[in-house]
Amino acid sequence: MGQPNESLTYLLQKAAKQALVRLEADLADLDLNARQYLLLALVEHEHFSQQALAHKLGLDPTAVVKLVDQLEARGLLQRTRFADDRRQHRLTLTPQGRELFLQAAERQQKSERDFTRAIGSRRNELRALLGEIVAPTRSAGADE
Amino acid sequence: MGQPNESLTYLLQKAAKQALVRLEADLADLDLNARQYLLLALVEHEHFSQQALAHKLGLDPTAVVKLVDQLEARGLLQRTRFADDRRQHRLTLTPQGRELFLQAAERQQKSERDFTRAIGSRRNELRALLGEIVAPTRSAGADE
DNA sequence: TATTGTTATACTCTATAACTATA
DNA sequence: TATAGTTATAGAGTATAACAATA
């Protein structure tokens, strides 16, 4: 961003945006945006509460309400209650939700391979470098 | 984003956001956000028109109007007219603008070194990898 | 009394359309 | 007629505050 073309911060913004645009294009015909997909992926892996999701996604809890509303209305996930704390909603994918998630996950992987085609297998180096930078700083934004 | 922690797209979003948050924190006492700084950096390097800046920044031209309004009101840059096409505004840093930019540029470089401290000199590899991914795809978003 | 989720609301950002001055 | 810049406005996204249910 100093000489913009050389700045890592600037490059990261551009790369992140382009990766996002591509992913959303690749998910478009499943009628999922990246955030919806990520939520499905997280819920598929673990039955989060909405607050836990908000924290994990770096989102406002009220935004999660709307996200979950949309996905529930489409029959992709369900809200039930946690037995040990009935205030919390336990989110679970429906069979349709799981099926859609699996399709989306395939596309996501392809999208990422396509996006990083220029660097081939060095994408693993990129992943490692980003992981080292990101891991220690987990304060603001999407956490963990 | 499939298994979120392993996804490059997800890592890129997080890294980009954290880098941005850090940069804005490091520029805060100069009363500049990242976008304002980037605009100053571009104008310092070349006397852009507002449309050219909008294209370069991947912003709406109306957003550039407001950005330039703010910076001009603070006496950091000036609008004059291009001689060969008097519709276009030629943007130039004032002496104060240039001085503030130089201070901001120092902070930006330090911010970036701090952010990438964990990978040390391998930040050059990271820069190279990102450059290879980003360069070919210059369609959507912040261009060139 | 504190917390989860919800709703309503306000605020910010971005995009769209109409206008002016120049070409 | 088309383009650069401006303004006003609408829309999307996000944050804030108050409320109900549960702890």
> Tens digits of per-residue pLDDT, A33-71?
999 999 999 999 999 999 999 999 999 999 999 999 999
pLDDT mean over B24-53: 96
Q: Cα angle at A55 between A23 and A14, to 5 degrees? A: 35
Nearest of B16, B80, B22 to residue A9 by alpha carbon: B16
Confidence class for position A1, pLDDT limits 50, 70, 90: low
**Residue of chain A nearest B108, judged by CA positions:** A2
> Nearest protein residue to C3's C1' (by CA)?
A87
Instruction: Record the tokens describing residue A72, joined without a space.
Output: 């529930």
Q: How confident is the model at residue B5 (pLDDT cuts 50, 70, 90)?
A: low
Whether the beta carbon of B47 falls within 7 A of nucleic chain D: the reply is: no
Mutate to test the interface with A, among B8, B32, B100 (most CBs of A within 10 A): B8
- The answer on pLDDT for A6 being more than 90 is no
Inter-chain residue contact B115 with A8, CB threshold 8 Å = yes
Q: Using an 8 Å Cβ cutoff, are A69 and A78 in contact?
A: no
Q: What is the pLDDT of residues B66-123, one digit of tens each?
A: 999 999 999 999 999 999 999 999 999 999 999 999 999 999 999 999 999 999 999 9
State residue A112's pLDDT score: 96
The 10s digit of each residue's pLDDT in A77-103 is: 999 999 999 999 999 999 999 999 999
Distances (CA, A) of B111 to A74, B24, B50: 44, 9, 28
Beta-strand relationship, A89-93 and A77-81 = antiparallel
Whether B142 shows a pLDDT value over 80: the answer reads: no
**What average pLDDT does range B33-54 have in this prediction?**
96
CA-to-CA separations, A49 to A39, A42, A91, A144, B108, in angstroms, rounded? 11, 11, 6, 16, 38
The model scores a pTM over 0.95? no
